[in-house]
Amino acid sequence: MERVIPDFEHLSQDRLRALVATGIALNSELSLERVLERVVESAAALTGARQALLELAAGAGGESGRLVGFGIDPSSREAADEILHGPGTLSEPILIRGKPFAHLYLAAKRNDQFFTAEDEELLRALTTQAAVAIEMSERVARDALRRVVAAQELERRRLSRELHDETAQTLTSVLLGLQSIVEAADAERAVAEAERLRELVTQALQDVRRLAVELRPKALDDFGLLPALKRLATGFSEQTGIRVEVESFLDDKRLPSEIETALYRIVQESLTNVVKHARASSVSVLVTRKSGSVIAVIEDDGRGFDAGAGRDEGLGLMGMEERVALLDGRLQIESSEGAGTTIVAEVPLR
């Protein structure tokens, strides 16, 4: 039988342990960027190289030539060239489905030693593990994207249904009403009908405005997260009678737009959940900044639910999780029956 598991018996216990630990660490990373950073770090640590450089190959999703470095500034072409083409460098490709995804280069072994055959073997074992972790991270990214797209599609279907069932119906009534004005027996009836139509048009206008805001709140683009959240909260309170308090400890600087959008959507979905499920009388929304990240906390005083139980129906909470995961953040849901619900979304600022 073909031997697929390499023979590591002669490796020292320490190096074997380090190799296993590296494999576990690599597989716990979900974003490709972090996997690549871990690979260069671990390659250097395992072999005693002071410098490691990873160069993405042509097959790596259009990022051909991109460099990730450890112990070297990859933006310095000179330093990079020295490793890529210099003598005394150890190198190994990372193959995915038989095609090169990247090349890993190691240089400047500690104490001016040369790399050994054992270093080479360790590097090969590492690149095999790296390939698995990279494939996994690509699959995770694809799945996340698919779920976000599915959630968007659902949202569009809901908006399309509202447009069709409400706005289009109202406009149809207006059209019929206009006809009855034309055919009205006397001026008095025509005026009464016109009054009725005016109300219908006002209603349709309100629907269209509300749908436009739901699609993409203009305040979010024009004024930023906090004003948009305040507006969302005001509209929500007016419609539901549930009190919402929005508080922020951010300065006036705008956050990156993808973070603003994600946090806005998370608060929006949380509020929707509050009306749908919580039976709460008040909600507090807090946005604050803590050591390089932004945190949004949405807390209601409703009936709560079992946050630990499996969820297979709703898309809301899952969509929130996906949004923060795509920004390398995390979502915490604290709730128990009778004790209200707290959603904490934390996203790092990069």
d(CA 48, CA 42): 10
Q: Which of 29, 92, 119, 300 binds ligand ATP (CB under 6 A)?
A: 300
d(CA 90, CA 109): 10
Q: Which of 22, 127, 268, 273 binds Mg ion (CB under 5 A)?
A: 273
Stretch that binds ligand ATP, among 59-67, 90-98, 133-141, 299-307 (CB under 6 A): 299-307
Contact criterion met (CB below 8 Å) for 84 and 94 = no
Smaller CB separation from Mg ion, 134 or 151: 151
Q: Which of 69, 302, 304, 316 binds Mg ion (CB under 5 A)?
A: 316
Stretch that binds ligand ATP, among 218-226, 229-237, 254-262, 306-314 (CB under 6 A): 306-314
Give DSSP secondary structure letters for 273-337.
HIIIII--SEEEEEEEEETTEEEEEEEE-S----TTS---S-SHHHHHHHHHHHTT-EEEEEE-T
Smaller CB separation from Mg ion, 158 or 216: 158
Cβ neighbourhood burial of 160 (10 Å; 0-12, 13-18, 19+): exposed
Contact criterion met (CB below 8 Å) for 213 and 252 = no
CB of 285 to ligand ATP, least distance (A): 13
Smaller CB separation from Mg ion, 302 or 316: 316
CB of 271 to Mg ion, least distance (A): 10
Q: Which of 170, 268, 273, 293 binds ligand ATP (CB under 6 A)?
A: 273
Closest CA to 104 of 133, 69, 129: 69
d(CA 269, CA 333): 13
Contact criterion met (CB below 8 Å) for 220 and 226 = no
CB of 93 to ligand ATP, least distance (A): 43
Closest residue by beta carbon to Mg ion = 316
Q: Which of 311, 332, 339, 349 binds ligand ATP (CB under 6 A)?
A: 311
Residues that bind ligand ATP (CB under 6 A): 273-274, 276-278, 300, 302-305, 311, 313-318, 341
